[in-house]
Amino acid sequence: MSLGSSVFSTESYFHTQKPPDGLDIKTARMGEFVEHWRGVQGNKVVLVTSGGTTVPLEANTVRFLDNFSAGTRGATSAEYFLSAGYAVIFLHRQHSLRPFSRHYSHSLNPFLDLLSESSGTIAVSPEHTAKLLPILRAYHAAQVKGTLLSIEFQTVNEYLWLLKGVTGVMAPLGRRGMFYLAAAVSDFFLPEDKMAEHKIQSGHGTLSLEMDQVPKVLRPLVQEWTPEGYIVSFKLETEERFLIPKARAALSRYGHQLVIGNDLHRRKYEVVFVERTDGRRKTGVEDIPGGAETPPLEDANEFKETWLRLADLTRRTGNGADGEVEIEELIVNELVNRHDRWIADAES
Amino acid sequence: MSLGSSVFSTESYFHTQKPPDGLDIKTARMGEFVEHWRGVQGNKVVLVTSGGTTVPLEANTVRFLDNFSAGTRGATSAEYFLSAGYAVIFLHRQHSLRPFSRHYSHSLNPFLDLLSESSGTIAVSPEHTAKLLPILRAYHAAQVKGTLLSIEFQTVNEYLWLLKGVTGVMAPLGRRGMFYLAAAVSDFFLPEDKMAEHKIQSGHGTLSLEMDQVPKVLRPLVQEWTPEGYIVSFKLETEERFLIPKARAALSRYGHQLVIGNDLHRRKYEVVFVERTDGRRKTGVEDIPGGAETPPLEDANEFKETWLRLADLTRRTGNGADGEVEIEELIVNELVNRHDRWIADAES
């Protein structure tokens, strides 16, 4: 790692990096979905972002930088938001896990193993039916009610443009909109003018790459794009000692309501909610492009932490098998309460 | 890109980079599989490698470099090798496409859409049965006969160690072993001693990375590890003009039998076979660590090219829907013929 000078503000990013193909169509679909559910009395809408973003190293992409994320957190949480009555926009990385079908990954639990043939018809074997039935019913219910809209992204550039677009179309929801930003977004990217046109040829020794920092769009998202939404961001760290300081720093810097901190190795059964003691936003936060993630000096009493943990007995693989409790169920329950208070606060 | 000096030979690579967890167990499983099929009169065994390899940037990996590859070529080819009577070792990237289940990706053709409920039982709807039935039968047949062994990798380091291991256990097959190296292997990697222990922290401007070249293990694989196997490598390029020169260069440099060249944008319906006119290996090729991929001067008449193309009428999405012809069927047909000649050559 080295220090560099070419730092993009959010504004200069969107000014210099081209919008992806299909942006208008996808944004329009999200807009129609929001408009429909805005018209349904009291209905809440959540945006769930999920999966990692890629950073292409070549315009005709063969190589890319990626973030570790199967999309488990997002896909699982989306199911619980649906069962809590939310309309869900599931903005996810292509080929990452999806609500409902996540229970049957091609490697761990291949769906072909569920099936058996009998005189020209194919049925799910009786021993698999009990587990699949509630999943299939919830999947069909979401289809019939139209409560789930899935939109794909691949690159960090697609993600950023789509996030900006969907935040714009969700703004009219006011406090009824929640933003659950679980995607693992790259911190670095290769601007278009530095990108190779074709596959980088090997055979010439080492490869040196210099990447620019992705602008922290959470600030304009909170402070400009959606002044009323309930916003949840995530911090993933591999060293637990960074979790709470970095979560507080993010709250101070961006001004939103909640950071969910998780440690890479314990994220399936333990997370921490970090928020202001009053549960509110902080307005008038200033942008510091490229600045370090250190918080302005703030009283530690301003913040509170709530740990959510699965009990040892229920702590397992975290894929929702056989009535196992998933931590996303606890997370979503807590969030629904906070979101309802946030809505009620405005009305009182 | 810049020139660098730290170039690993295959020998120094395996000397300095630690073997991955689980290597012995996986290699032993492949060894047992090979031993079983070696004992079955005349049976041929193919190793199919598939999917991209990752290059972790951190020891506790959050970020990694990746290669564009869904694993379509490998998963599809494995099915055709199975139906041609081969025993198949499918060495694939975790979560990449797999034989048979590849027809039902979570996004394009979700399997939950195939199912309907009727009085507590779940069946595949009649309109989907006709397509699924032959796939399910072939899947079950491979299970019953035990002709498919799937082994996963994720990082380029795992891939290289597993490749070395499986080549060793396949060597006793002599000419009855085929190596179909369709995985998209990274050209660059970050040696252990340059890797960050924890998540690289952002907030300090740009990120600079310098990566070393992955050794070209194809040379020792051909010249030392399996002196008798039939070896097929792949060249993926984004510029067609590089295809044939680079394929010939690889044959000259590594001495194996066949390179399949494909262009990124046309690979679903057009490939080119590049081989020596006599269809043989070339022995006594010298290692040039880190050398450029330019071939020693060789008579162009030494090589021949065979283009395989899907006719326009059958050229479609290439996912095997509804009786569509897939180019992997043509590829595998051609390979079976060549492999049979290679075996017969030794016996005559």
Tell me: the pLDDT tens digits for B196-207? 666 666 555 677
Separation in Å, CA of A74 to nearest CA in chain B: 15
Return d(Cα B276, Cα B296) in angstroms, integer.
14
Is residue A3 domain-resident? Answer: no
Whether residues B121 and A126 touch (CB distance < 8 A) is answered with yes
Give the confidence band of B301 by pLDDT, cuts at 50, 70, 90. confident
Chain A residue numbers with beta carbons less than 8 Å from the beta carbon of B200 are 1, 187
Given this model, what pLDDT does residue A4 score? Answer: 43
Look at residue A202 and tell me whether its pLDDT is greater than 80.
no
Is residue A116 domain-resident? Answer: yes
Is residue A311 domain-resident? Answer: yes
Look at residue B315 and tell me whether its pLDDT is greater than 70.
no
Given this model, what pLDDT does residue A105 score? Answer: 78
Is residue A4 domain-resident? Answer: no
Give the confidence band of A314 by pLDDT, cuts at 50, 70, 90. low
Chain A residue numbers with beta carbons less than 8 Å from the beta carbon of B252 are none
Whether residues A63 and B67 touch (CB distance < 8 A) is answered with yes
Give the confidence band of B2 by pLDDT, cuts at 50, 70, 90. very low
Nearest CA among B334, B340, B316, B47 for reference residue B182:
B47
pLDDT, mean of residues A77-91: 98
Nearest CA among A99, A76, A96, A184 for reference residue A148:
A99
Give the Cβ contact number of residue A2 at 10 Å. 10
Is residue A1 domain-resident? Answer: no
- Say which range, A104-118, A138-152, B159-173, has the weakest mean pLDDT: A104-118
Nearest CA among A114, A110, A120 for reference residue B134:
A120
Chain A residue numbers with beta carbons less than 8 Å from the beta carbon of B4 are 205-206, 208
**Which residue out of B53, B209, B212 would a mutagenesis test of the A interface target, given it has the greatest number of A Cβ atoms within 10 Å?**
B209
**What is the total count of domains within chain B?**
1
Give the confidence band of B256 by pLDDT, cuts at 50, 70, 90. very high
Look at residue B26 and tell me whether its pLDDT is greater than 50.
yes
Is residue B31 domain-resident? Answer: yes
- A82 with A138: CB under 8 angstroms? yes
More confident residue, A229 or A42: A229
Given this model, what pLDDT does residue B1 score? Answer: 34
Look at residue A3 and tell me whether its pLDDT is greater than 70.
no
Separation in Å, CA of B346 to nearest CA in chain A: 35
pLDDT tens for each residue of B100-134: 999 987 777 789 999 999 888 999 999 999 999 99
pLDDT, mean of residues B95-101: 93
| Cα dist from B259 to A298, B150, B246, whole Å | 63, 24, 9
Chain B residue numbers with beta carbons less than 8 Å from the beta carbon of A132 are 115, 122
pLDDT tens for each residue of A150-176: 999 999 999 999 999 999 999 999 999
**Which residue out of A102, A154, A206 would a mutagenesis test of the B interface target, given it has the greatest number of B Cβ atoms within 10 Å?**
A206
Is residue B259 domain-resident? Answer: yes
Chain B residue numbers with beta carbons less than 8 Å from the beta carbon of A199 are 236-239, 264
The CA-based diameter of chain A, rounded to the nearest angstrom, is 72
Given this model, what pLDDT does residue A217 score? Answer: 94
Given this model, what pLDDT does residue B51 score? Answer: 96
Chain A residue numbers with beta carbons less than 8 Å from the beta carbon of B205 are 2-7, 213, 290
pLDDT tens for each residue of A34-58: 999 999 988 999 999 999 999 988 8
Given this model, what pLDDT does residue A152 score? Answer: 97
**Sign for the pseudo-dihedral over CA of A275, A277, A281, A283:** negative
Whether residues A133 and B117 touch (CB distance < 8 A) is answered with yes
Nearest CA among A225, A238, A232, A255 for reference residue A328:
A232
Whether residues B106 and A95 touch (CB distance < 8 A) is answered with yes
pLDDT, mean of residues B183-206: 76
| Residue from the list B105, B121, B135 with its beta carbon closest to the beta carbon of A123 | B121
Look at residue A197 and tell me whether its pLDDT is greater than 70.
no
**Which residue out of B9, B106, B234, B294 would a mutagenesis test of the A interface target, given it has the greatest number of A Cβ atoms within 10 Å?**
B106
Separation in Å, CA of B90 to nearest CA in chain A: 13
Give the confidence band of B4 by pLDDT, cuts at 50, 70, 90. very low
Question: How much is the mean pLDDT over chain B?
Answer: 88
Chain B, nearest residue to A8 by Cα: B205
pLDDT, mean of residues A287-311: 72
Look at residue B166 and tell me whether its pLDDT is greater than 60.
yes
Look at residue B281 and tell me whether its pLDDT is greater than 80.
yes
Containing domain of residue B171, as a range?
Answer: 10-347
Nearest CA among B250, B310, B304, B306 for reference residue B282:
B250
Question: How much is the mean pLDDT over chain A?
Answer: 88
Here the CATH number for the domain that contains residue B317 is: 3.40.50.10300
Chain A residue numbers with beta carbons less than 8 Å from the beta carbon of B291 are 203
Chain B residue numbers with beta carbons less than 8 Å from the beta carbon of A98 are 106-107, 110
| Residue from the list B122, B133, B198 with its beta carbon closest to the beta carbon of A132 | B122
Chain B, nearest residue to A61 by Cα: B68
- A32 with A166: CB under 8 angstroms? no
Look at residue A140 and tell me whether its pLDDT is greater than 80.
yes
Whether residues B112 and A2 touch (CB distance < 8 A) is answered with no
Is residue B5 domain-resident? Answer: no
Chain A, nearest residue to B265 by Cα: A60
Whether residues A121 and B123 touch (CB distance < 8 A) is answered with yes
Chain B residue numbers with beta carbons less than 8 Å from the beta carbon of A64 are 65-68
- Say which range, A35-49, A170-184, A295-309, B70-84, has the weakest mean pLDDT: A295-309
